[in-house]
Structure 1
Amino acid sequence: MKIIKLSLLLLLMAVTACKRTVPPMTGIIPQPNEFTTEQGTFTIDEKTVIIVDDTVEATWNTKELTTFLKDNFNLNLKVTSSSELDNAIRLISSQESDAIGAYSLTIGKKGVLIKGDSDRGVFYGIQSLKQLLSPQSAVQTPLLSYVTINDAPEFKWRGMMLDVSRHFMPKDSVKKVIDALAMHKMNKFHWHLVDGIGWRIQIDTYPELTKKGAWRKVKEHKKPWEDYEATYKNDDGEVYGGYYTKDDIREIVAYAKEHYIDVIPEIEMPGHSEAVLQCYPEYSCDSNDITGVYCAGNDGSFEFLQNIISEVVALFPNEYLHIGGDEVGKDSWLKCDKCKKRMREENLQNGEELQSYFVKRMERFIHSKNRKLIGWDEILEGGLPERATVMSWRGVEGGIEAANAGHDVVMSPGDPLYFDHSQGKSEFEPPSWGGYNNLLKVYDFNPVPSEIAPDKRHHILGGQANLWTEQVKSLSHIQYMMLPRLSALSEALWTKAEKKNKEHFINKLDVHFDRFQELGYNFAGSSLSPDYDVTYNKDTKEFSLTLQNELDRYEIRYTLDGSAPTSESTLYTDPIVYTSTITIHAQCFRKGAPIGYPLKRMFSTGFGDQCKVIYTNAFDEAYRGGGDKALFDNKYAIARGDDPNWQGIPQKDFEVLIDLGSSAELSYLGLNFYQDIGATSVMLPTQVTIAISEDGKNYVTVLDESIATMEQREPIIKRIETSFEKQTVSYIKIFAKNRAELPEWHLRKGAAWIFVDEVSVK
């Protein structure tokens, strides 16, 4: 492993004439599009003045800069409108544009000049200046190299969505999210205020939405979306929820505006509306069976939503209003007499066309309010309103279709821009939802697929990450899922493709991590958690264990005696060669302190290519885990059902005979089983039996264990293992009893699966 080496082009290192000090090592994220340095330095001191125009927005920018200098360097600088002074920081807005955000930043003998094409541009210039002066831990005095930056964003939509419906986030937590967005020059905050799980915005016309729709009963062994029930705050039993008053909304919108971030509210329709319809069931197709979909045949549904939107647009000055439009269950429409009548009257052939009717009708009203409708890519189904903007989340295909048809598009594909997905492979990662979106996958994101016609590419407004909160309940967890992936996304959306440099970005992260620490942000070290690869040499009969992390940075230290590594443990430099079972405990260290999660694994020889595994019941081809040798391949599956290393068997028992191919002295056997009730039909076996034999005829049982049923929803990896008196072994039988059918209390019905992985021996 190599120790991090910061690129000279990014460190802004220059020595003063008398050689008494040097500027700090630093780097700006997102990378400026034009960046040059010269010999010389300028120091901000108590005599430096800030020169600025006397306007409201200029006052915001002045506050942004003066607060930073006061908090970090205890400098209270004078603010003036005089333009004839040296030793100054000049903030100049040309007011040539109010949206683009271009700026220049020049540091020279007379001081600092930030010139923006608008006050927004000046704000972005200040963010770059702040990064040149941070982290404070690397800066003794506010010393700056001479530098010239000319910069502008590549894409005009650089956003992140935060879901506050599933788990309500306090007002101050929302502001902290906005702070992180502003630091990275992001400009869109998509606020998912409404979903089936909870209503979070005060609507005066319909007070039940927050009296009841903002609260839900907490039910034992149930996730919020299972058997959902809206209730009142003071009802009996445990109640969970919250909402934002109109004053709260105004405060957050104003705060975002001061940080040049547009807030886009989402009012979900026509589906994902259980919370609403439990409060106002008259707008459901069947008031006795709330499906979470507004009745499209009821004119009252549209009047209800129009009244809500009228109050919403009064709070949010941004031009966009998001209506959701995703995952609409249409069965209730197709059974509803009112909806069927609507379909006959409007000559609609199916549920998709009825959804298109619904969206188009709402778009006309939203347009009448001087707003633009934006929705998830399902609004393409059945026909898209001509003025609608599409947010493509089910991959990029919907965005390609919409852009080629002449519609504006925001690319937001789940892979790689769902920040609720795991960003690391360690079993110690906090709860996540869905797949795996690592840091550098986010960095490589390009919002303009080649399938979009050249004359239509201007319709790609940019990109957006989405942070759903099924598993995320706190600001600390939000920050963990955002950072540093937000840093990667900011550079993907701000910096021109030809100016991006992944190695430079990785180098800059070293400084950025210190910035996060000083700001008190809980960022993920997932990209630095040790990962591994094992290879086998048939000629030498040796195994080789390689350690690395995603960024290929910092020291990895390890132990083989079971103890936790310290900064004094063995430094990993070359692959670890072994011929008998080893247990490794590895940890990445940055500046002498551990970062990321540790790797704890037993790696057995598995007898290389000579062993044979004979299955009584074949594994399913869709979950083959790597085939017949998967149980001995030294590739451990992690706690996700989509991990390709799991081997799956539906309904039948897991039963194998392992012929080791030779005899060995063994005293230990272990293997892993998986369960995830919340997302799969995979359950732990009810019983596991392990027997060993030297001759293949006479077997000794070394484990016979009943497995208690565990009803927890979270994923489980259960290690089944046994130690026994050392003896000669040539054959191993493993039997795991499948419960065959899922229990009645399970979320699903049908066959139960067994997922198994990695037999270890020593």
Structure 2
Amino acid sequence: MKSYWPLRLTLITVLLYPVFGWGQTVRSLIPQPTTLTARPGLFTLTPSLQLSSSPAFQDVARLWAEQTFGRALPIHVLTTRTSRSVTGRVIFQQLTKPAPADTGRETYRLRISPTEIHLQAATTLGALRGVQTLIQLAALQPNNRQLPALAIVDRPRFGYRGMHLDVSRHFFPVVFIKKYLDLMALYKLNTFHWHLTDGPGWRLDIKKYPKLVRQAAWRTHRTWKEWWASPRQYSREGDANAYGGYYTQEQARDIVAYAARRGITVIPEIEMPGHSEEVLAVYPQLSCSDKPHVSSEFCLGNDSTFTFLEDVLKEVMAIFPSRYIHIGGDEASTASWKTCPKCQARIREHHLTDEHALQSYAVRRVGQFLEKHGRRMVGWDEILQGDTPEAPLAEGATVMSWRGESGGIAAARRGHDVIMTPGNYVYFDSYQANPTTQPEAIGGFLPIERVYGYEPIPRELTAAQTRRILGVQANLWAEYVSTTEQAEYMVFPRLLALAEIAWSDSSARSWPDFQRRLQDHYRLLQRHAVNYYRPGLTPQLTILFQPNGRTARVEFGTETYQPQLRYTLDGSPPTTQSAEYVESFSVSESTTIQAAHFRDSTRIGPVVTQAVDFHKALGKPITYAIRYTNSYPAQGDATLVDGNRGSFTYSDKQWLGFEGIDMDVTIDLGQVQPLNDVTVGLMQLTGPGVYMPRYVDVSLSTDGKTFLPPVRVDNTVPESQATLVIQDLAVPLGGQSARYVRVFARKNKGYMFVDEIRVH
């Protein structure tokens, strides 16, 4: 009877497959494969299975066995003779004559049946991508020893699919770097951008310049925030209070090899000419002042600067075999170059127009050095500054576009390769939810849905220019990321969205489908002990007043999948008996909405309250004595009287921005009427430089010409309040009658954001 059991199991699987939906996790892969066909049946993984491989794929087969069973398995080597009549339970086969569709470097074909796994590829990289699909499939199953039957043909959209990590602001150990690489590989990312040097610490051992790791790798404060607020001094290795660390060249080579085995290229970044205060603190002769702690920029008129940089890059190139070397090039100040005799002499010697052209000269010189050594330079989009026909950027230079997409568009039009990494879509140091509920971050708001919605190919480019877009990368800057747990929290699950926009064709992407597949990946992340961001249970209420000013549309949103939301319209807390939200609805009078998340008969999240306010200024004419900033125009002039409130992010196009200027507006209510108060909606988030005004004045008039003395209310939120504050500042009017209401808010510093002025 025992010999019939496998046949019975196969028959049972075929019969029950449609009923129990074993195919669901087949269709949960991230990134979405190019083509996938689910088939009935399951393949059972056992340590006794036979593993066969083409000679070129043996290391790939070993990697799969190690990650699947925790140990190596015997490998039967396929020869040219045996490759046509392959036998075995798991087969990794190199295609000697691939079809045209299989010639891409990372293309693979995968077939799983109840009796066999067959992986085919033309290259080792293709085989590695197929192996990661196998590993992911196993991790997605409740029983990770069974794989669903399927057929896949898969290839990437972009050849460059990157993830960055800043180890300068906070040092991360080798064991974490390897975990980071494992997770990148699992989701088919192929480039690790390692930000090794910056002002807060130099992280790579350079033999010729030992002070870089003996002193410049160590600072006086553990957190970047504390150090940045201090005199920003450096310490020494061995000092009991020193914070920092560095990677030896042996450790760096080990990480490079570890990544390469998983099909990942490591690109090192050595910052220049700015962000280099740690270097100049220990080698001050390379600065314009010859003194430490004066500036962050190398002296570009000093030949010793280029000797140092070339020496460092020679050692870097000996460790990192990557085609690209990243030289930074961002946020350099020209102040010290303007007053430096050596820099000014360099400008005259090379007939440069200004200090920006001087930076371009330095970038070009370093790029040419790298080209002589068979490498290519990549830098942030500031390396385009000073790029002119008379003094062009190095021909092989690649631009990382981080300040939006404009730098990438300009670079592509000038014939340079581009990697898209715009901050408003792929900077993972931004908040994922309401900042009041999150660990402190640098600012901004970047939920996973926004990451997923990013399209790396700008519409402005021609077909030829589009081919210059090599791919996309997300960045994790570590100013506020001081632990490995926090790093994981900021990266996951947003990395999964990045992986899909980098790998899958844009026409195949669908947020609802991705959100469905994402639910199965929480099990995978748990099994890998990843401290990922959990979906919030707080409903998001959006109230959009209609142009007629008489109705408002109410929409609910949530980060949870297929939520049960209940709400009330009378200001009372919702219960299991309250109305369940099904679709958006309209209200036509002022009311208070309360909503909460329920599961079965229990409320599982906080109650959210939102007022719908049909106030007297709604939709009325408004004039601006001082124009708001073009950077944050929200909905234009009508923003402050359209009824729509801003959320916890000033990027939601409901917050009107005033940069370093006062707000001075006048609202025409249409007729003289008694007024009780004016309420101004304000925000403070000091990290990105958003502050409350010093005070708000409200002046009233019946004719729009003569205004009564203002009623003033001072701001009470201290500048030291670093966490997000959203506050309505109310100015009492005591029933005075007026038609015109002038609202003046005195600037403080940085930005002032206002979402609505309500008149009652």
The answer, yes or no, to whether TM exceeds 0.5 is yes
Q: In the alignment, which of 208, 217, 222 is matched to residue 220 of structure 2?
A: 217
3-state SS, counterpart of residue 162 of structure 1 = strand
d(CA) in 1 for partners of 2:663, 2:719: 19
Does residue 148 in structure 1 map to residue 156 in structure 2? Answer: no
Q: 2:139 aligns with which of 134, 137, 143?
A: 134
Contact 2:620–2:641 (CA under 8 A) maintained in structure 1: no
- Determine the C-alpha separation between the residues in 2 that align with 1:159 and 1:424: 24
CA contact (8 A) 2:157 2:502 kept: yes
Quick one: which of 96, 114, 121 aligns to 1:116? Answer: 121
* Alignment counterpart, residue 193 of structure 2, candidates 190, 195, 216: 190
**Cα 1:46–1:25 shift into 2, 3 Å:** same
Equivalent position of 2:611 in the other structure: 603
Kindly provide the CA deviation profile for residues 68-114 of structure 1, in whole angstroms up to 9, marking residues without a partner as x: 356xxxxx895331668866121223478998121110112531111
CA contact (8 A) 2:551 2:586 kept: no
Q: Which residue does 1:80 correspond to in 2?
A: 75
Helix, strand or coil at the partner of 1:312: helix
Structure 2 counterpart SS, 1:582? strand
Mean Cα displacement is larger for which, 112-121 or 526-535?
526-535
Question: Aligned to 1:520, which of 523, 529, 536?
Answer: 529
Contact 2:219–2:233 (CA under 8 A) maintained in structure 1: yes
Q: Say which of 374, 381, 405 aligns to 2:378.
A: 374
Q: Aligned runs of 1:61-76 on 2, under 5 Å?
A: 61-69=61-69
Please say if 1:327 is aligned against 2:331.
yes
Per-residue CA deviations over 1:623-655 (Å, capped at 9, x if unaligned) read 776656736714134254885424759676889
1:601 aligns to what SS in structure 2? strand
- Whether the aligned pair in 2 keeps the contact of 1:558 and 1:585 (CA below 8 Å) is yes
**2:750 and 2:113 mapped to 1: Cα distance?**
70
2:353 corresponds to which of 329, 349, 358:
349
- In the TM superposition, residue 592 of structure 1 has moved relative to its aligned partner by 9.0
Residue among 268, 274, 281 paired with 2:271: 268
Deviation at 1:193, TM superposition (A): 0.8
What is the letter of the counterpart of residue 489 of structure 1? L
> Partner amino acid for 1:346?
H
RMSD value over aligned CA atoms?
4.7
Structure 1 residue identity aligned to 2:46: E
Amino acid at match of 2:257: A
Partner of 1:208: 211
**1:465–1:564 Cα change, 3 Å:** farther
Structure 1 counterpart of 2:325, one-letter code: L
Q: CA deviation at 1:374?
A: 1.4
Partner residue in 2 for 1:291: 295
Deviation of 1:410 after TM superposition, in Å, equals: 1.9
- The within-5 A match list for 1:576-587 is 577=587, 579-587=589-597
The question of whether the paired residues in 1 share the 8 Å contact of 2:431 and 2:447 is answered with yes
Secondary structure of the residue aligned to 1:314 is helix
State the alpha-carbon separation in 2 of the partners of residues 600 and 515 from structure 1.
Answer: 31
Question: Which residue matches 2:472?
Answer: 463
Question: For the residues of structure 1 that align with 2:49 and 2:610, how far apart are their CA atoms?
Answer: 62
CA positional deviation for 1:235: 9.4
Q: How much has 1:280 moved relative to structure 2?
A: 0.9
C-alpha separation between the residues in 2 aligned to 1:455 and 1:499? Answer: 23
- Structure 2: gaps spanning 5 or more residues: 1-9, 79-84, 701-707
Distance 1:18 1:66, change over 3 A: farther
1:90 equivalent in alignment to 2:91? yes
Cα pair 1:213 1:230 within 8 Å, conserved: no
Give the equivalent residue in structure 2 for 1:25.
24
> What percentage of residue pairs aligned between the two structures are identical?
32
Contact 1:320/1:371, CA 8 A, preserved across alignment: yes
Structure 2 match to 1:548: 557
- Deviation at residue 543 of structure 1 after TM alignment: 4.8
Distance 2:343 2:41 in 1: 71
Following TM superposition, by how much is the alpha carbon of 1:489 offset from its aligned partner in structure 2, in angstroms? 2.2
Compare 384-393 and 13-22 and name the one that shifted more: 13-22
CA distance in 1, matches of 2:147, 2:238: 59
Measured in 1, the distance between the counterparts of 2:341 and 2:275 equals 21
* Aligned-pair CA distance for 1:228: 5.5
Change (3 A) 1:636 1:36: same
State the AA in 2 paired with 1:128: T
Q: Following the alignment from structure 1 to structure 2, what is the Cα–Cα distance between the partners of residues 639 and 237? A: 41
Give the equivalent residue in structure 2 for 1:633.
643
How far is the alpha carbon of 1:709 from its aligned partner?
A: 3.0
Number of aligned pairs?
720
Give 3-state SS (helix, strand or coil) of 2:485's partner: helix
Deviations 1:489-514 (A, max 9, x none): 22222123444444433332222233
Quick check: 2:515–2:561 contact (8 Å CA) kept in 1?
no
- What is the letter of the counterpart of residue 603 of structure 1? A
Please list the CA deviations of residues 732-754 of structure 1 after superposition, one character each: whole Å capped at 9, or x if unmatched: 999999676x5xxxxxxxx6775
- Do residues 442 (structure 1) and 451 (structure 2) align? yes
Separation in structure 1 between the aligned mates of residue 600 and residue 377 of structure 2, nearest angstrom: 47
Equivalent residues of 2:681, 2:726 under 8 A apart? yes
Unpaired runs of at least 5, structure 1: 1-12, 71-75, 692-698, 743-750
Match of 2:111 among 101, 106, 109: 106
The offset of 1:656, in angstroms, is: 8.9
Structure 1 residue 509 corresponds to structure 2 residue 514: no
Secondary structure of the corresponding residue to residue 475 of structure 2: strand
Moved more, 611-620 or 361-370: 611-620
Given the two structures, how large is their TM-score scaled by the length of structure 2? 0.80
CA deviation after TM superposition for structure 1 residue 579, in Å: 3.7
1:242 aligns with 2:245: yes
Return 222-231 or 375-384, whichever deviates more.
Answer: 222-231
Distance, in Å, in 1 between the alignment partners of 2:651 and 2:241 is 32
Cα distance in 1 for partners of 2:396, 2:246 equals 31
Moved more, 467-476 or 107-116: 467-476
